[in-house]
Structure 1
Amino acid sequence: MSPASTGFQVPTVTVSSSLPKRKVDDAVLIVAVVSGTDEDSRATVVSNPFLDAEGVGEIEVALEALGAKGGSEQVTRVVAPSLPVASVLAVGLGKNRDAWPADAIRRAAGVAARSLNGTETVITTLSDIDVSAAIEGLILGAYRFSDFRSEKTAPKDNGLRSITALTADTKSKTKDAAARATDIAAAVATARDFVNTPPSHLFPAEFAKRAEALGKAAGLEVEVVDDKALAKDGYGGIVGVGKGSSRPPRLVRLSHRGGKGRKPKKVALVGKGITFDTGGISIKPAANMHHMTSDMGGAAAVIATVVLAARQKLPIDVVATVPMAENMPSATAQRPGDVLTQYGGITVEVLNTDAEGRLILADAIVRACEDDPDYLIETSTLTGAQTVALGARTPGVMGSDEFRDRVAERSQEVGENAWPMPLPEELKDDLKSTVADLANVSGSRYAGMLVAGTYLREFVADGVQWAHIDVAAPAYNTGGPWGYTGKGGTGVPTRTMFAVLEDIAVNG
């Protein structure tokens, strides 16, 4: 049931302090340019130590001839015979400034990589501005998923295979930063591969199998709980959602034991793994239902993040608890009005079977809290209300006030731009049931994202700092490519969660 290839192949990355001594016939050199002034509108090359006056002059004359203005993320390809490369790609950073935000570099690099489809070797001077951002942007911009293409439509080229990052500082810290950036981009690519794999080939058992393989390769402790054990142990939410499908649910646990000392910091990660969501008996409209291949985006990001934590040897304990199910309508599916018992004992009236994510997440959150973590981060493609409130690119973060704000701040620093949202106490009243402890949806059409967060809060253990990241739209780009983000799976919020883990590792 698996495709022949193994998803996106991450390019090799090297760091160098100078251009090649001899001409590299298949290489493209990427340089940054800025837009001109009102008096002189010509694009100019951003100063860097790798180009002499002749090389800069050749590039700027060619850009002027083509009318390039150096606008933000504008790309122009030219030839500069004095340079040891086949061609030069100038990517615009907009107006000149003393320093550029990391995500501006990341997005410029992504645009450059996307415009170079078919180029196997690039040399970038963007890295002298920000080596990590340049490498992340190039790799993620070059990302493509073609596992299910036949020879008729498969790319004829090999794609980007080699990146040389030119930087004036090639000391060990810079090389470590380049390696870290490569690992981060690889983790995001892993999450994208999972999301982009169609549900015909990524059902719960297969998802669990692939997660187990990744975890073992990274040295993680792995536990896979099958449907019989889930039923026996009382995981009513996961079992209830999964029983409408012929492909039964799973729960996967991946543990990185990096903490040292008597009481190492412990972080629990939980991600929604609905491998396809029809809505169940409360079935969704047919239009755009195929986008629900992305409903396991939270699980994909969590798996990628815990593997990344192991690769980077973070000195904390990180345990991912990942529920996986397929939400289908059938003779065995749960019905609106059914009552189930979540893991831990809380009973829930299922008023809408399309609010299934919170049911499997509640089970996983309770299980994760049994490990007594200091922090818990849960992420999910949970509510259409996230898109209504914040749009297609901005995740919403809810949870413990202080930790929520910390997660949002880290997210904004890495360019995933999550925004903190409240959980008003009065919303709990909207989840009252006449027959059970809770209902899984409110009777109101308002504040759907916050109501879902309020539901999840009921299952977080006292004393655990927690955050819920709703990535309903940000996890899957249904529009055109932009920056380092192509169509399909985005890998959000992998970089956010890893940034928080690094922050905890340093600051507790």
Structure 2
Amino acid sequence: MTTPKLALTDTAPAKLAVDALVIGTVQGADGLELGPGAEQVASAFDGDLRQVLSSLGANGKADEVIKLPAGGKLKAALLVATGLGKPAADGSVSAESVRRASGAAARALTDVEHAASTLAAADLAAAVQGTVLGSYSFAEYRSKPGSAAVTAVDFAVADTKDSAAASALKGGTAIGEAVNTARDLINTPPNDLFPASFADRASELARAAGLDVEVLDEQALRKHGYGGILGVGEGSSRPPRLVRIRHKGPKSAKKVALIGKGITFDTGGISLKPGAGMDEMTSDMSGAAGVVATMVLAAKLNYPLDVTATVPMAENMPSGTAYRPGDVLRMYGGKTVEVLNTDAEGRLVLADAITRAIEDEPDYLVETSTLTGAQVVALGKRTPGVMGSDEFRDRVAQLSRNAGEGAWPMPLPEELRGELDSKLADLANVTGNRWGGMLAAGIFLREFVGESTAWAHIDIAGPAYNSGSPWGYTPKGGTGVPVRTMAAVLADIAEHG
């Protein structure tokens, strides 16, 4: 992960002697319109900029990027017009539109040394975030380097000494870098990222940020009775781990527990997945990657909270030692679970982690995972589903939409609980049918949370990994969802309790 050097400038955009100058365009009711901050650029351009862009096919739609020589009195060599999409009724553009347009522009600024952006006129923090996210690339395993990302970006603002602008630059950069840290972990192949090495990398990141770290290996897991994590990891030659990371806040601070599923590769176990697309199961640790990155962010931004992450890591493999359909696992804390499908493994490792996290008596518990394929069926590839206690669930979902990750609240219908009854154990890990699979998984997890804790689970089965073409600030591969949601939740709790 390499972040461009970002800075603020109060030099008029037309006078910036840079390799490329980014402006926004808007999809207006009567055709292309120039976005906020582009007026000075247009007045210094040699000709009618709006007309020239229109003649090149620009209409301001989202993800549109048009490049043309700057010319006229502009000091920049290249002009890059990036689409902000349709404005709101009052003519404003949303933070997500700015974030996405900045990301699309950053992806297009390959082999550019120094660029400047006028998108800060619409939303500085979003412009910064989009630039950091859009300039991301992962080339660790390529023998030849590809096109280089933009090296430095200046954001045009009215006053570089404005504390709010400085804060927006710092916060936007930190959040973007946290997302990219999660992306790096997700994109690392499973032959290099397995439970032990993942635990090592998480520990290294956390300790470098000044956080407390505890790692439980397979012997410690067995000693303390983490039956879910051990059961899922039994089939692999690479044993499981549980990583605990803590950011200490003031004595009176709210206590927040974060949990992320860290299945470093998921074959489905004995209930083997189809071969097609199984390579994408390298991303089944996306929840854990997001939580680790969020903990580093919490330290960097020094949230006035006591935040503890509990991150179970295992590899779900079929072998002679693998757990089987029909097995009964004794979970951490004593509950028993009949395994009917070994491919419903995430909820088993999460159940152990939840029970351990609840022992710390958190005020809030947020967990995330690539929990169910049913999430993709219900909400598609870009919309996370949020389940949990009603009030906190709705709060998390709204904060996610504000942050640009678009989560949607989902119910936990009581009638589905009976379908998790087991003939042998306290409960089964799946129901006997395919209906409401995401909701049934949420109800399973609720059994380990209890009634008194404000709790939300973010299912990112689809949004965690982009198997299609890049768009906006989203690359192919790991996306880093839901780091921005978790950052927004922590900031909101810090401010409002």
Normalised by the length of structure 2, the TM-score is 0.96
Q: 1:32 aligns with which of 18, 24, 38?
A: 24
Contact 1:18–1:50 under 8 Å retained in 2:
no
User: Which residue in the other structure is 1:443 paired with?
Assistant: 432
Tell me if the contact between 1:34 and 1:46 (Cα under 8 Å) persists in the aligned partners.
no
* 1:180 is aligned to 2:171: yes
User: Residues of 2 paired with 1:110 and 1:381: CA distance?
Assistant: 25
Q: Which amino acid aligns with 1:163?
A: V
CA shift at 1:264, angstroms? 1.8
Corresponding position: 1:313 with 2:306: no
Matches within 5 A, 1:120-131: 120-131=113-124
Residues 350 and 94 of structure 1, relative CA distance in 2, 3 Å threshold: closer
User: Aligned to 2:45, what secondary structure does the other structure show?
Assistant: helix
The partner residue of 1:486 within 475, 490, 493 is 475
Q: What is the DSSP-based 3-state SS (H/G/I as helix, E as strand, rest coil) of the residue aligned with 1:130?
A: helix
1:227 Cα deviation after fit: 0.7
Choose from 141, 145, 148 the match for 1:148.
141
Q: Which 10-residue stretch deviates more, 395-404 or 75-84? A: 75-84
Residues in 1 aligned to 2:274 and 2:292: alpha-carbon distance in whole angstroms: 30
User: Which residue of structure 2 aligns with residue 162 of structure 1?
Assistant: 152
Structure 1 residues 130 and 385, CA gap change in structure 2 (3 angstroms): same
Please give the alpha-carbon distance, in whole angstroms, between the structure 1 residues aligned to 2:460 and 2:116: 34
Whole-Å separation in 1 of the counterparts to 2:405 and 2:16: 38
| RMSD of aligned Cα (Å) | 1.7
Query: Could you tell me which of 185, 189, 196 is aligned with 1:194?
Result: 185
Q: Which moved more, 1:107-116 or 1:86-95?
A: 86-95
Q: Distance in 2 between matches of 1:172 and 1:199?
A: 43
Q: Contact between 2:107 and 2:149, CA under 8 Å: does it hold in 1?
A: no
Unaligned runs of 5+ in 1: 1-7
What is residue 368 of structure 2 aligned with on the other side? 379
Q: 1:472 aligns with which of 417, 441, 461?
A: 461
**Alignment partner of 1:83: what SS?**
coil
Q: How far is 1:55 from its partner?
A: 3.0
Structure 1 residues 73-112: aligned runs within 5 Å: 73-81=63-71, 82-95=73-86, 98-112=91-105
Indicate the residue corresponding to 2:4 in structure 1: 11
Task: Give the drift of 1:139.
Answer: 1.3
Whether the aligned pair in 2 keeps the contact of 1:45 and 1:60 (CA below 8 Å) is no
Q: Matched residue of 1:435: which SS?
A: coil
| CA distance in structure 1 between the partners assigned to 2:474 and 2:355 by the alignment | 34
Deviation string for 1:407-449 (max 9, x for gaps)? 0000010110100001111211111111111111111210000
Give the Å deviation of 1:232: 0.8
1:336 to 325, 345, 348: 325
**Correspondence 1:269 to 2:258:** yes
CA shift at 1:120, angstroms?
3.0
* 1:352-367 equivalent positions in 2, closer than 5 A: 352-367=341-356
Q: Write out per-residue CA displacement over residues 164-193 of structure 1, whole angstroms, 9 at most, x where no aligned residue.
A: 111124302211111100000000000111
CA contact (8 A) 1:297 1:475 kept: yes
**SS of corresponding position for 1:189:** helix
Bigger mean CA offset, 13-22 vs 451-460: 13-22
Contact 2:467–2:476, Cα closer than 8 Å, also in 1:
yes
Structure 1 length normalisation: TM-score? 0.94
Local SS of the residue matching 2:41: coil
Deviation at 1:32, TM superposition (A): 1.1
Q: CA deviation at 1:20?
A: 7.5
Q: Aligned equivalents of 2:34 and 2:224: distance in 1?
A: 65
Q: Tell whether the 8 Å contact from 1:50 to 1:125 is kept in structure 2 after alignment.
A: no
Aligned-pair CA distance for 1:374: 0.3
Distance 1:57 1:228 in 2: 72
| Equivalent residue, structure 2, for 1:4 | none
Q: Hey, what's the Cα distance between the residues in 1 that align with 2:386 and 2:35?
A: 39
* Aligned counterpart for 1:232 among listed residues 220, 223, 236: 223
Cα distance in structure 2, aligned partners of 1:464 and 1:134: 36
Equivalent residue of 1:469, what SS?
strand
1:59 and 1:80 in contact (8 A); partners too = no
Task: Read off the aligned partner of 1:386 and give its amino acid letter.
Answer: Q
Equivalent pairs counted in the alignment come to 493
SS of the counterpart of 2:449? coil
Contact 2:80/2:105 (<8 A) preserved: yes
Provide the rounded CA distance (Å) in 2 between the counterparts of 1:42 and 1:375: 46
Once the two structures are superposed, what CA deviation does each residue of 1:65-101 show, in whole Å capped at 9, x if it has no partner? Answer: 4243333332111112221222010112245553111
Unaligned runs of 5+ residues in structure 2 are: none
For 1:72, which of 41, 57, 62 is the aligned residue?
62
**Residues 412, 438 of structure 1: CA spacing in aligned structure 2 closer, same or farther, 3 A cutoff?**
same
Distance 1:484 1:178 in 2: 17
